[in-house]
Homo-oligomer: A and B are copies of this chain.
Amino acid sequence: MKNENILKHKTKIHKEDRENLLKQKGCVLWFTGLSGSGKSTIASKIEYNLHKMEKLTYLMDGDNIRLGLNIDLDFSPESRNENIRRIGEVSLLFADCGIITLVSFISPYRAMRNSVREKIGQSFIEIFVKADINICRQRDPKGLYLKADKGEIDEFTGISAPYEEPLKPEIVLDTEKMSVDESVEKVIDYLKKGYFI
């Protein structure tokens, strides 16, 4: 190639360049909590509201990850760890691209969430979507608790597999007391105060 000696450093585009273009800061909103706690409902509404504010977001959940990137993984502890490791790595790439990245997975193990936190650093925002398991069981939007109680689902978090609550999450959303709109507002306020948007 005739021009091969172009200085790579001078032409490299960095996270800050993309953030300046988008007028926002890339980050990871990591929603953790039991099945039925409200993670996906709240994350979807935040995505919708941020889009109305002309912010670029991306939502990762079971629908687009479990059937794609992580289709080779099951629900054993090892696979759950690898599931979260990969989601952590991909959300790091999205944040590096300048995107407000919403991740909605039960992610039951504290150690795995902390290892994602260490990898992502300051841009990692852990959001504990909190509701008692009996409330989640009553809501049971996907009918999963019913199946788990009958023993039809192995390793179901909160029943036959552990859920480890975050010790120091950036945000707690107590969905027994807060409405979806109140939860959404709390997260968007956090993003404003942290100059992410």
On A, residues with C-beta under 8 Å from B are 1-4, 6, 8, 11-13, 17-18, 21-22, 38, 41, 44-45, 47-48, 51, 54, 56-60, 64, 68-69, 86, 89-90, 92-94, 96-99, 139, 141, 175, 178-181, 183
Contacts and interface: CB of A to CB of B under 8 A. Distances in A.
A47 B13 contact: yes
8 contacts: A1-B41, A2-B180, A13-B51, A13-B57, A58-B97, A68-B93, A69-B90, A90-B90
Nearest to A45: B11
A56 B1 contact: no
Contacts of A1: 38, 41, 139, 175, 178-180, 183
Contacts of A48: 11-13
Contacts of A178: 1
A99 B96 contact: no
Given A68-B92, A90-B93, 12 more contacts: A1-B139, A2-B180, A3-B181, A12-B44, A13-B51, A13-B57, A13-B59, A21-B51, A58-B97, A69-B89, A86-B86, A90-B90
Contacts of A54: 21
Copies of this chain held together in the complex: 2
A56 B22 contact: yes
The 6 A-B residue pairs with the shortest CB-CB distance in the complex, in nearest-first order: A69-B89, A2-B179, A11-B48, A3-B180, A68-B89, A58-B97
A12 B84 CA distance: 24
A17 B47 CA distance: 11
A97 B69 CA distance: 15
A6 B45 contact: yes
Contact of A38 (B4, B56, B99, B179): B4
Q: Quick one: which of A1, A51, A97 has the most chain B CB within 10 A?
A: A1
Contacts of A180: 1-4, 6
